[in-house]
Amino acid sequence: MSIAFTFPGQGSQAVGMGKDLADAYPEARAVFDEVDEALAQRLSRLIWEGPEDELTLTANAQPALMAVSLAAIRVLEARGLVLKDRIAYVAGHSLGEYSALAAAGTFSIADTARLLRIRGNAMQAAVPVGEGAMAAIIGLEQADVEAACAEAGKGSVCQIANDNGGGQLVISGAKPAVEIAARLCTEKGAKRALMLPVSAPFHSALMQPAAEAMREALAGVQKNAPSVPVVANVTVSPLTDPEDIAARLVEQVTGRVRWRETVEWFAANGVTTLYEIGSGKVLSGLARRIDRGIATVNVGGPADIEAFGSE
């Protein structure tokens, strides 16, 4: 029996997230202050007061979600948690992989905030607004979705960006190709093919300029071996070498988030409980659809902190 900590990705943000942690615990407040200073921005005010459309911007949502997750981690640590003594692995969904690495000590909180700001800006700038798109495909076999992407993406870009499990795949690429692929998926029997309200085609080959920006940014920060292995999005394997981790983070910008396989890997390697650290319950919901044998626990507010401490 072992535990893994998981960290949410974009889409889990909500105005007001983390405010109860900051009000209840000085260690949490210190994390938000550190992120504000690192970014030279009152991001904490935006997180707690909005407006929502500004918080949702990629360059804000990414460091904001990390701040909430790390605020929870610092409170747990102040109450006696030693990560390597209690936790077997960490993992995060897309940007959540950076939160996982900050929790495991690979990056400082300040460096993680700056990396995520660079990542958000670079991903937004990689493709002009309106030229890329993403769509969620529900209830269709992966092979059929792959075939639809291959047919629609001839001479263009269309690929699976996220394998979220529970019959949910997300495709990404050039807008015309994604629209064609979504229609083809419907014709192949998908229960739903829903265009997503996103500002860029994340985790597709069109993000290559952002991958190069992250290669440069990651080369310039201090990287430590994580205190526990991180299960990487693109390889679904536990990593401990800092340079290997950085290389996989670069690949992640254009590569597939293999979350279904990650949860399956946890189950196959003795993990019995997944703790989702931070805002929302998206990953817990996905995990339950992937493998009902794994227990899920959310740690996002003071009541969750107290419950964790009593275990």
DSSP class of 28: H
Predicted confidence at residue 199, as pLDDT, reads 81
Predicted confidence at residue 311, as pLDDT, reads 62
H-assigned helices in the chain = 19-24, 26-39, 43-49, 52-56, 58-78, 83-86, 96-103, 109-125, 142-152, 175-187, 208-219, 242-254, 259-268, 282-290, 302-309
Cα–Cα dist 254/261, whole Å: 18
- pLDDT above 70 covers a percentage of the chain that reads 99
Q: How many CB atoms lie within 10 A of CB 103?
A: 31
Say what the pTM is. Answer: 0.96
Dump the DSSP string for 63-103. Answer: HHHHHHHHHHHHHHHHTT--HHHH-SEEEESTTHHHHHHHH
pLDDT of 196-208, one tens digit each? 988 899 999 999 9
Q: Does this chain's domain 2-126+206-309 share its CATH topology with 132-198? A: no
Phi, psi at residue 49, to the nearest 5°? -120, -15
- The average confidence (pLDDT) of the chain is 96
Predicted confidence at residue 198, as pLDDT, reads 85
Predicted confidence at residue 194, as pLDDT, reads 95
pLDDT of 167-204, one tens digit each? 999 999 999 999 999 999 999 999 999 999 888 999 99
Mean pLDDT, range 114-135, rounded to an integer: 95
Q: Between β-strands 271-277 and 238-239, what pairing exists: parallel, antiparallel or unpaired?
A: unpaired
* Confidence class for position 242, pLDDT limits 50, 70, 90: very high
pLDDT higher than threshold 70 for residue 218: yes
Q: Give the domain ranges of the chain.
A: 2-126+206-309, 132-198
**Among the four given CATH numbers 3.40.1190.10, 3.20.20.450, 3.40.366.10, 3.30.50.10, the one describing domain 2-126+206-309:** 3.40.366.10
Tokens linked to 58: 């990629």
Predicted confidence at residue 153, as pLDDT, reads 94
Predicted confidence at residue 3, as pLDDT, reads 97
pLDDT of 28-69, one tens digit each? 999 999 999 999 999 999 999 999 999 999 999 999 999 999
β partners of residue 133: 173
Predicted confidence at residue 310, as pLDDT, reads 59
The catalytic site residues sit at 94, 203
What is the CATH code of the structural domain delimited by 132-198? 3.30.70.250
Mean pLDDT, range 273-298, rounded to an integer: 96
C-alpha angle 232-288-186 in degrees, rounded to nearest 5: 85
Cα–Cα dist 118/130, whole Å: 21
Predicted confidence at residue 80, as pLDDT, reads 95
